[in-house]
Amino acid sequence: MQVINSLGYQVIFDDSLVSLKTFLAERQYSKVLVLVDRNTNDHCLGALQVVFNDLEDYDIIEVDPGEENKNIDFCIGVWKTMLDFGADRKSLMINLGGGVVTDMGGFAAATFKRGVDFVQIPTTLLSQVDASVGGKTGIDLDNVKNIIGTFTQPQAVFINTQFLKTLDDRQLTSGFAEVIKHGLIYDRDLYNNVKELKVRDIAADIIFRSVEIKNEVVSQDPTEKGLRKILNFGHTIGHAIEGYSLFNDNNPLLHGEAIAVGMICEGYLSHKLTGLPEEELNDLIATFRAYFPDYRIAIENYDDFFTLMKNDKKNVGDKIGFALLSSIGKCEYDQYVGEELIIESLDFYRELISR
């Protein structure tokens, strides 16, 4: 078992989940609610049986999987079910799932009766290295990612790497984009260690280092006033592409697939604006194209992308905000970019994949 101390709570790596059993015995909550989606209900919930055997009062809340369901309507359903189950302010919400479950479950708990405790048990690589750590909770609104939410820290995060065996290759690779990103923005050695790794070979020590990086960043800047903004590299354009794809493509992009496109585009902006060397840009491009499929972008979609980008949380006034690389392993935040250069970056990506 390994432990990372975060903002008043611990991130505990424990494939047995015995530490969760100890946590619950010490806290003595009045009621425990477990939020799952259909996938984690089928494939992951059984791993908590060692915990449930000692609980007198717990209930399961199930939601539909998928980013398209991370919205206010589903959140209202969670709140109503919490009421139906008699949850009080001394209840605990256990969020067992990927980023949709941990984001929305955290938000539902943070706002129900002005806040009840919650813990995160992330079951996907994406949620283990990103969504479950740092205290961001939220839901989407009108295709805009995580625009409604809070900064609320969990009581603990329990990471069981065995859950990754339940993922298909596409889901696992999607989460790998965030591991690569952590290397790009903060740790050149991590990037070099993972850029040619087979995704199925990702080891617990790589996951631990990726979580450690995110924790080091958010512990210095919990509410994203400064340094934490570097975690958004690739996300300004990537989130816009993800939001567009979600409601316009028959097979929408997963989060990691969209931010892989975003990181190539924003890598280009980094080369133009913050000094990312051309050879490092080319290395970044080769890495992402080795893992992720090309995404066909049409010029007529640019207006839709800009509509989404202009609603991004990082913007100031009408200026679109970015985090950009100065080199692999170093990132600059509060970089504001005009539309003309953003269009140039999208054109660069379109031309790149057409060769």
> Active-site residue among 182, 229, 255, 271?
255
> Active-site residue among 21, 31, 70, 136?
136
- Measured CA to CA, the distance from residue 217 to residue 33 in angstroms comes to 30
For residue 253, give the DSSP letter.
Answer: P
Is 195 noted as a catalytic residue in this protein?
no
> Active-site residue among 209, 228, 229, 271?
228
Taking Cα atoms as reference points, which of 140, 128, 120 lies closest to residue 166?
128
Q: Is 311 exposed, middle or buried (0-12, 13-18, 19+ CB in 10 A)?
A: middle
Per DSSP (E only), the strands in 152-273 are 156-159
Is 43 noted as a catalytic residue in this protein?
no
> Active-site residue among 26, 56, 114, 198?
114
> In this structure, what are the phi and psi dihedrals at residue 8, rounded to the nearest 5 degrees?
85, 10
The token pair at 302 is 């640019």
- Measured CA to CA, the distance from residue 208 to residue 191 in angstroms comes to 14
> Active-site residue among 67, 212, 224, 242?
224
SS3 state of residue 225 = coil
> Active-site residue among 181, 239, 271, 314?
239
- Measured CA to CA, the distance from residue 143 to residue 352 in angstroms comes to 27
> Active-site residue among 178, 212, 257, 332?
178
Is 289 noted as a catalytic residue in this protein?
no
> In this structure, what are the phi and psi dihedrals at residue 49, rounded to the nearest 5 degrees?
-60, -30
- Secondary structure tally for the chain: helices H, strands E: 14, 11
> Active-site residue among 21, 181, 235, 271?
235
Is 114 noted as a catalytic residue in this protein?
yes
Is 41 noted as a catalytic residue in this protein?
no
> Residue 61: what residue type?
I
Is 214 noted as a catalytic residue in this protein?
yes
Is 145 noted as a catalytic residue in this protein?
no
What count of residues does the chain have? 355
Is 332 noted as a catalytic residue in this protein?
no
> Active-site residue among 214, 229, 271, 314?
214
Placement of tokens 């390994």 in the chain: 2
- Measured CA to CA, the distance from residue 204 to residue 192 in angstroms comes to 17
Is 266 noted as a catalytic residue in this protein?
no
Q: Which residues are catalytic?
A: 114, 136, 178, 214, 224, 228, 232, 235, 239, 255
